[in-house]
Structure 1
Amino acid sequence: MSDSWKLTLPCTRAEAEAIDAADDFGIDPAPVLMTSEEVADDPLRWRLDAYFEGRPDKAAIAAVRALAPSSAKTKTTAERVPDADWITLSQSGIEPVHAGRFYVHTDANKGAIPAGARPFRIEASRAFGTGQHETTTGCLLTLDAMRVRGERARNLVDIGTGTGLLAFAAMHLWPGAYATASDIDAASIDVTAENAGLNGIALGNGPRELALAVAPGLEHPLLIGRAPYDLIVANILAGPLIALAPSIGMALAEGGTLVLAGLLKNQADAVLRAYRRQGLRLAGRIDTGDWPALRLRKRVRHGHDRVTRLGPGGAGETPGFGNW
């Protein structure tokens, strides 16, 4: 590569999570996109780096700028970077993540896989959830600790799946389970499908297969039809977690486990209050930096209202979910 260029823009964490690969923007060749924190634990201080093969024109710059509306008033220009493999350059600061029994890497930084670890190849810059951020690491550690304690999952869902990593990890821990992954962003579901292929994860609606859905929260016939779940993972943001508390609480089976992440320590109390109202209690917590992963359990009810159906094909009553 003899002519590589980089455009750097400020962005927010929410924008970073929503950023998709550039191949849908009509740019050829597509730039490589990478997001990172500028200031630790500040959701408003993130950065978007776009690496181009050749000097980008005004249309290409405008397409990248559209990914970060908060940067509209920022003046910046593309700059030429030294001769290098631009994909490797964009990922030069990324290290593999070893969390519990999981080892998450990109194609460029695979390194030596630790003995006994389950490797997952998750490329950077496609969707949130590469394992680099503390929220994803905390969820991986929480899931691993659940399996160590002998907890079981027969029907699980990863809400806001991003790259699919947490769904893949849960499927590895409980290989016979029905598994579902959803995201409000259709591009994230495309990324999850691609990553499933890279990591030997079968797609489908049966046990040992991953079913996919594009949905805001749980508003999808597939997600409603497969409920209640005995394991729900939601690594998103504190605001959406609070807003989704009623529907997530209803979708979780009695005695089931909910893993929440994407919130800061100072947001944990507000999130917990929202889920206590739904009959859940805090059962465990792992703090990775300033980012806690919360493990909650749903109380068991008794009597004729008790939910007995669990997963596709289950028998018994299901809750009236109404309009999610």
Structure 2
Amino acid sequence: MSWLVSLPCTRDEAEALSGEVPALDALPDAPVVATREIDEAAGQWQLDAYVETPPSAALVETLRALIPSARSAAPTVEELPEEDWVTLSQQGLRPVQAGRFFVHTSSHADHVPSGVVAFQIDASQAFGTGGHDTTAGCLAMLDRLARRGAAPRNIADIGTGTGLLAFAALHLWPRARVIASDIDPASIFVTRDNAVINAVPLGRGGGQLALAVAAGTDHPAIRHRAPFDLVIANILAGPLITLAPDIAASTAPGGHAILAGLIARQMEAVLAAYRAQGFRLAARGGSADWPCLLLAKRRRYGFRRKERAFHRSDPADASFGSW
């Protein structure tokens, strides 16, 4: 990529561009997009879009539509030296420390403090570098859960993005079986590459990470491994609510779910969906704007009908997109 298009934006607009953006993905010259804070005191943010060819008028108009505050702003267009966009895009991503975890890009690999668990996650097509409040909140909540003495042996990271949260879970509970899934195949390839960079073992056994392309929990490997002691879902409020019955069915009684990707005003709706499925709120973390919820699934006592079994007699623990 050798062209950079920059436009001013607000913090809210920058946050809204943290996940998948179908309008950009549909463009022939689909860009890699990064947002960064320019002036904290003034609340100034900037959107940077990197493309391989001179930016088209359609690209600029799409960017303006996504950030209404910049509709009248003239974009800054710059041709970059070969591969310079990589360095520039990483410079905007500062290291993040959450709990015992320190997440950094390759440009900060020489500045890792002692006494932390470090993961190198570079900007990519997948969401979840650690710089967003939702991801940092999940890392802190995982650390908090471990310090409470929790010891899950079967873990699922639904909507894994870059794989970061699955890596952190596997570090905290190194004997656990962990599976990470995402609806976007590109995310699974990014996660596989990140696993190699961070020396995370891939596989299907204890102490290994299995990968799967899946919409929510809809995958043979996920169904076979369920119920889970811990389910992590850092996605968006809408999908979280839609997936509430599936995540509940995939969580063992007494198990936990860590939910993030929602904003503060959506929290009660998400909680209502999961309370209806037998969860209770065990803890709230994250930031004021981006809460991270730790839910516990209530245990059931006395007579009850047998729950639907997920296991099959001879299940395939993988299919296309699984590792």
- Alignment TM-score, normalising by the size of structure 2: 0.79
| Shift, 1:115, TM fit | 2.1
Q: How many residues align?
A: 301
Provide the aligned C-alpha RMSD in A. Answer: 3.7
Distance 2:305 2:104 in 1: 45
Residue 119 of structure 2 corresponds to residue 126 of structure 1: no
| Shift, 1:264, TM fit | 1.3
Identify the residue that residue 255 of structure 2 maps to in structure 1.
Answer: 256
- Gaps (5+ residues) in structure 1? 314-324
| Shift, 1:246, TM fit | 0.9
Identify the residue that residue 322 of structure 1 maps to in structure 2.
Answer: none
Identify the residue that residue 168 of structure 2 maps to in structure 1.
Answer: 169
Paired letter, 1:248? I
Answer yes or no: is the 8 Å Cα contact 2:153–2:176 preserved in 1: yes
- Residues 1:148 and 1:63: Cα distance change in structure 2 (over 3 Å): same
Identify the residue that residue 56 of structure 1 maps to in structure 2.
Answer: 54
Superposed counterparts of 1:30-179, under 5 Å: 33-36=33-36, 48-52=47-51, 56=54, 58=56, 70=66, 79-80=77-78, 85-179=84-178
Identify the residue that residue 20 of structure 2 maps to in structure 1.
Answer: 18
Distance 2:171 2:310 in 1: 20
- Gaps (5+ residues) in structure 2? 314-323
Paired letter, 2:19? E
Q: Deviations over 1:129-157 (max 9, x none)?
A: 10001111110000001111111110000
Identify the residue that residue 183 of structure 1 maps to in structure 2.
Answer: 182
Superposed counterparts of 1:181-220, under 5 Å: 181-220=180-219
Q: Deviations over 1:157-198 (max 9, x none)?
A: 011111100010001001111101111111111111111111
Distance 1:115 1:289 in 2: 29
Identify the residue that residue 6 of structure 1 maps to in structure 2.
Answer: 4
Answer yes or no: is the 8 Å Cα contact 1:182–1:189 preserved in 2: yes
- Residues 1:31 and 1:283: Cα distance change in structure 2 (over 3 Å): closer
Distance 1:39 1:267 in 2: 28
Residue 241 of structure 2 corresponds to residue 242 of structure 1: yes
Identity of aligned residues (%): 49
| Shift, 1:83, TM fit | 6.8
Paired letter, 2:34? M
- Alignment TM-score, normalising by the size of structure 1: 0.79
- Residues 1:216 and 1:286: Cα distance change in structure 2 (over 3 Å): same
Q: Deviations over 1:227-248 (max 9, x none)?
A: 0001000111111111111111
Distance 1:291 1:199 in 2: 27
- Residues 1:215 and 1:13: Cα distance change in structure 2 (over 3 Å): farther
